Amino acid sequence: MGRHAAPVSTSPEPADDPIASARALTKVYGAGATAVHALRGVDVDLGRGRLTAIMGPSGSGKSTLMHCMAGLDTPTSGTVEVDGQVISSMSQRQLTNLRRTRIGFVFQAYNLVPTLTAAENITLPLDIARTPVDRERFDTVISTLGLGDRLTHRPAELSGGQQQRVACARALVAKPSIVFADEPTGNLDSKAAGEVLGFLRRSVDDLGQSVVMVTHDPRSASYAHRVIFLADGAIVGELHDPAEADILEALAALGEAREQDAS
């Protein structure tokens, strides 16, 4: 597929072998007059071995979508499948186990357990699952992230960028099927953000990971293979291998479309 100058409303084109997919996914918070429809029937397939970015205005349902797809939240209706398993009907216990083994997370902030060292934080999911640490993988991840000399430090002794990189390492070290990152660079300056995003992209390209991230920053989104645009709980368009300018353009178009809608 080529580049689009403006977001194109696409019917979901089923990728050959999606790592995660959602069908008719809805999420309603509250009930009655105050009900908030955070997701209104989202169909999406997230490609295996791809870096996917999700963009959209504040309150458009990005975080909600991530949470539902990661088994952190239960959707109101619709199905979610991760790596061949239907997770939307799983019990809490199964979900906990899924998170432990198949899914990695990076949050916007507050990613690390303050009492553990960087190394201990990185191996935490493995320790919890009582899986032996794959030394080779660990070393690869560490060297890719350039964290070798920071492993014995506690989170409080690390910079924000370093903390996010440790969080990324933690998400990746257990070889999860998919990594979800909700605004992983939201708190970072552009240089630190670049480091983290560069790493995420490399983990896709070099390690074969599948990564989904939410971002507000077109520059960050330009690291992605594919950018999905969300508005009012629905997917309104997508771009493939976009440049920063394409994304800006698409966002502007989205904004105009909404203003017209409003008027």
Partner 1 sequence: MLRVSLREIRAHGVRFALSVLAVILGVAFVAGTFILRAMLSDTFDSIVESSLQGDAYLRSVATTSDDGLPDGPPDPGAGFGGARDGIDITLADEVAAVDGVARALPDVQGPIVIVGADGTAVVNGQAPSLALALHTDDPAVDLVAGEVPVGPNEIGLESGALDSSGLALGDTTTVVLGGEVREVTVVAEGAYASPTSGATLAFLDADVAAELFAPDGLVNSIAVYGEDAVSQSDLVDAITETVLADHPDANLEARTGDDVRAEASEAINEIIGFIGTFLLVFASIALFVGAFIITNTFAMSVRQRQREYALLRALGASPAQVFAVVLTQAFAVGLVGSAIGLLSGVALVDLIRWILSRFGMNLTGEAPVTAFTAVLCLGIGTAVSLVAAAVPARRAALTAPVEAMRDDVTVTEKSLRWRALVGALLLLIGVAATYVSVAVSTDEDPYWGLEPGPWLGIGAGAVLVGMLALSPVIARATLGVLAAPFVAAIKPLGRLARGNVMRNPRRTASTAGALMIGMALVAACTVLAASARESTTAIVETEYRADFVVLSATNAVPAEAVTAIADLDDVARADALSTAPVELSGPGLDPTATTVIGAPPTAFGTTLEIETLEGDLATLADGEAALHTSAALEYGWQIGDEITLRTDVTELTLTVGAITNSQALNADVTIGEDQLAELLGPAPANVVMVGVDGVDGVPLTELGDQLDAIIEPYVVVTALTADELVNQIADRVNQALVIIYALLALSVVIAVLGIVNTLALSVIERTREIGLIRAVGLGRLQLSVTIVIESVLTAIFGTVVGVVVGVALAAAVRSVFADQGLSVLAIPWDQLVAIVALSAVVGVLAAVWPAIRASRLPVLEAIAQE
Ligand X SMILES: Nc1ncnc2c1ncn2[C@@H]1O[C@H](COP(=O)(O)OP(=O)(O)OP(=O)(O)O)[C@@H](O)[C@H]1O
Least distance (Å) between residue 164 CB and ligand X: 17
Q: Which of residues 146-165 bind partner 1 (CB under 8 A)?
A: 156
Sign of CA dihedral 142, 170, 18, 25: negative
C-beta of 47 vs 155, nearer to partner 1: 155
Beta carbons within 10 angstroms of residue 160's beta carbon: 15
Question: How do beta strands 178-182 and 103-106 pair?
Answer: parallel
Site string for ligand X, 10-49 (x = CB under 6 A): -------------------xx-----x-x-----------
Handedness of CA 156, 160, 165, 167 (dihedral sign): positive
Shortest CB 115 distance to Mg ion, Å: 27
Report the site for partner 1 in 173-192 (rule: CB under 8 A).
187
The secondary structure of residue 5, as a DSSP letter, is: S
What angle do the packed helices 118-128 and 160-173 form, to 10 degrees? Answer: 30
Is 4 a binder of partner 1 (CB under 8 A)? Answer: no
Please select the residue that binds partner 1; options are 4, 23, 100, 216, rule is CB under 8 A. Answer: 100
Q: Is 68:80 a contact under the CB 8 Å cutoff?
A: yes
Q: How many CA atoms lie within 13 Å of 81's alpha carbon, on the beta-carbon side?
A: 15
Q: Which stretch binds partner 1 (CB under 8 A): 29-37, 94-102, 222-230, 243-251?
A: 94-102
Q: Does 63 bind Mg ion (CB under 5 A)?
A: yes
What are residue 21's DSSP bridge partners? 45, 81
Environment class of 221 (CB within 10 Å of its CB; exposed 0-12, middle 13-18, buried 19+): buried
Q: Is 61 in the site for ligand X (CB under 6 A)?
A: yes
Q: Which is nearer to ligand X, 44 or 145 (CB)?
A: 44
Site residues for partner 1 per CB under 8 A: 67, 72-73, 92-93, 96-97, 99-101, 105, 107, 109-116, 120, 123-125, 127-130, 156, 170, 187
Site residues for ligand X per CB under 6 A: 29-30, 36, 38, 56, 58-64
